[in-house]
């Protein structure tokens, strides 16, 4: 099947040609492509690139995305997984590294969606991406694809594991976009915090260590967490997915990869530029400044990476180590919230509220008088 050429806003979608092989190799030879696009993981030679192109030609409804001024290849986009009885299909896309963050994916997806709902008379177009792929989540929302949920363990990662997948879809009667206001996805980043590393949780690698670390009386009381390895797997999976735009969460590790604790900036309020900080430290790592170092690094990311102006921190009044950690990381004690949170023992406890502002100059040297 030879697909028609489609003109869009700043892009031309044309059928694939053999002379696109070099650009396909450039697209395939990229860490993000290998991570998120299973069909291109095995493409490393011209012969493999040509086989991939010919597969696109046979599949139909697949286009090379090009620059209308130069004719240069910018990326790819296509419809697949057709259900003719229900007039449904799924859309997929990719952009060459040099052309990312310029709206190419959004314009290509809009163009193909218009063709799908118009010439092909589709009633629904689905869009699926790995939960960690924040860029694809942003494209989906910008193009009017509403978030519909998560499909667990649905996308092969290429290393024997599987990613969870965000489900989006757009119906023929939906407006072109954006689908919903909501916060923008946050791109996960790892951070060096002195002698420690703030790492994105990996469920397969970290679940057992997390379950072992939180099997501790103090953590159970002040930071209720997963009780089993299965629950720890789901806990890690949720904290690795920043696409909801309301949290940035890490595991804290030493230089050998040993688990020391966890830290998070969560309940992010983008309108008021505020969030909350939370953390825990494994028993064997306490008393070494792990929490203060991790909290300070996470807070800097909140201010510099997310543009927050205020980060709050709550802890039970009797949790004196947490009070010391907060002050060491520059969080001023602002007061007490009475009977404000139910802790792991089922009791409502008074809490200290600390906060740090982006304009604060440094750690608090001593408690306020």
Give the CATH number of the domain where residue 65 resides: 3.40.630.30
Residue 156: domain span: 6-171
Shared domain for 36 and 153, answered yes or no, is yes
pLDDT by residue for the chain (369 residues), tens only, comes to 679 999 999 999 999 999 999 999 999 999 999 989 999 999 999 999 999 999 999 988 999 999 999 999 999 999 999 998 889 999 999 999 999 999 999 999 999 999 999 999 999 999 999 988 988 998 998 999 998 988 888 888 887 878 889 999 999 999 877 876 667 789 899 999 989 999 999 999 999 999 999 999 999 999 888 989 999 998 999 999 998 889 999 999 999 999 999 999 999 998 899 999 999 999 999 999 999 999 999 999 999 999 999 999 999 999 999 999 999 999 999 999 999 999 989 999 999 999 999 999 765 433 333
Question: Do the domain assignments include residue 183?
Answer: no
User: CA-CA distance, 332 to 353, in Å (whole number)?
Assistant: 8
Shared domain for 201 and 338, answered yes or no, is yes
Shared domain for 216 and 337, answered yes or no, is yes
Shared domain for 57 and 116, answered yes or no, is yes
The number of distinct structural domains making up the chain is: 2
Shared domain for 225 and 154, answered yes or no, is no
Which of 125, 141, 171 is the last residue in one of the domains? 171
User: CA-CA distance, 88 to 121, in Å (whole number)?
Assistant: 9
Question: Do the domain assignments include residue 1?
Answer: no
For residue 151 the two structure tokens come to 């499909």
Which of 171, 205, 223 is the last residue in one of the domains? 171
User: CA-CA distance, 165 to 319, in Å (whole number)?
Assistant: 38
Shared domain for 214 and 308, answered yes or no, is yes
Question: Do the domain assignments include residue 178?
Answer: no
Question: Do the domain assignments include residue 247?
Answer: yes
Report the pLDDT value the prediction gives residue 159, as an integer from 0 to 100.
Answer: 78
Question: Do the domain assignments include residue 330?
Answer: yes
For residue 60 the two structure tokens come to 């139909």
Shared domain for 222 and 159, answered yes or no, is no
Which of 115, 140, 171 is the last residue in one of the domains? 171
Question: Do the domain assignments include residue 369?
Answer: no
Report the pLDDT value the prediction gives residue 66, as an integer from 0 to 100.
Answer: 97
Shared domain for 142 and 229, answered yes or no, is no
Shared domain for 196 and 164, answered yes or no, is no
Question: Do the domain assignments include residue 186?
Answer: no
Shared domain for 249 and 281, answered yes or no, is yes
Report the C-alpha dihedral over residues 88, 68, 44, 240, rounded to 10 degrees. -60
Query: How far is the CA of 113 from the CAs of 119, 143, 345, in angstroms?
Result: 10, 9, 53
Shared domain for 344 and 206, answered yes or no, is yes
Shared domain for 63 and 135, answered yes or no, is yes
């Amino acid at each position: 099947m030879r697909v028609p050429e489609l003109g869009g806003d700043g892009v031309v979608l044309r059928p694939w040609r053999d002379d696109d092989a070099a650009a396909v190799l450039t697209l395939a030879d990229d860490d993000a492509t290998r991570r998120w696009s299973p069909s291109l993981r095995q493409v490393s030679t011209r012969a493999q690139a040509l086989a991939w192109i010919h597969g696109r030609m046979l599949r139909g409804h697949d286009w090379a995305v090009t620059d209308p001024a130069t004719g240069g290849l910018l990326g790819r986009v296509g419809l697949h997984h057709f259900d003719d009885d229900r007039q449904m299909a799924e859309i997929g896309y990719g952009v060459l590294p040099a052309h990312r963050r310029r709206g190419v994916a959004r314009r290509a997806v809009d163009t193909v969606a218009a063709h799908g709902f118009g010439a092909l008379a589709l009633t629904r177009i689905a869009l699926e991406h790995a939960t960690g792929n924040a860029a694809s989540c942003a494209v989906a929302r910008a193009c009017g694809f509403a978030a519909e949920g998560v499909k667990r363990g649905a996308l092969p990662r290429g290393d024997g594991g599987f990613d969870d997948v965000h489900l989006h879809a757009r119906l023929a009667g939906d407006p072109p976009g954006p689908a919903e206001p909501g916060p923008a996805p946050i791109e996960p980043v790892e951070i060096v915090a002195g002698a420690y590393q703030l790492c994105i949780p990996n469920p397969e690698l970290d679940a057992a260590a997390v379950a072992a670390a939180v099997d501790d009386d103090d953590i159970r009381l002040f930071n209720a967490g997963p009780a089993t390895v299965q629950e720890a797997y789901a806990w890690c999976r949720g904290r690795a997915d920043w696409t909801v735009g309301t949290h940035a969460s890490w595991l804290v590790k030493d230089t050998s990869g040993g688990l020391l604790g966890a830290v998070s900036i969560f309940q992010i309020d983008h309108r008021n530029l505020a969030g909350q900080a939370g953390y825990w430290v494994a028993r064997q790592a306490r008393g070494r400044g792990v929490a203060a170092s991790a909290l300070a690094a996470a807070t800097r990311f909140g201010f510099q990476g997310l543009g927050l102006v205020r980060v709050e921190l709550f802890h039970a009044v009797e949790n004196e180590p947490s009070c010391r950690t907060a002050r060491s990381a520059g969080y001023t004690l602002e007061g007490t919230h009475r009977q404000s949170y139910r802790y792991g023992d089922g009791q409502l406890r008074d809490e200290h509220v600390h906060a740090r502002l982006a304009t604060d100059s440094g750690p608090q040297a001593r408690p306020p008088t």
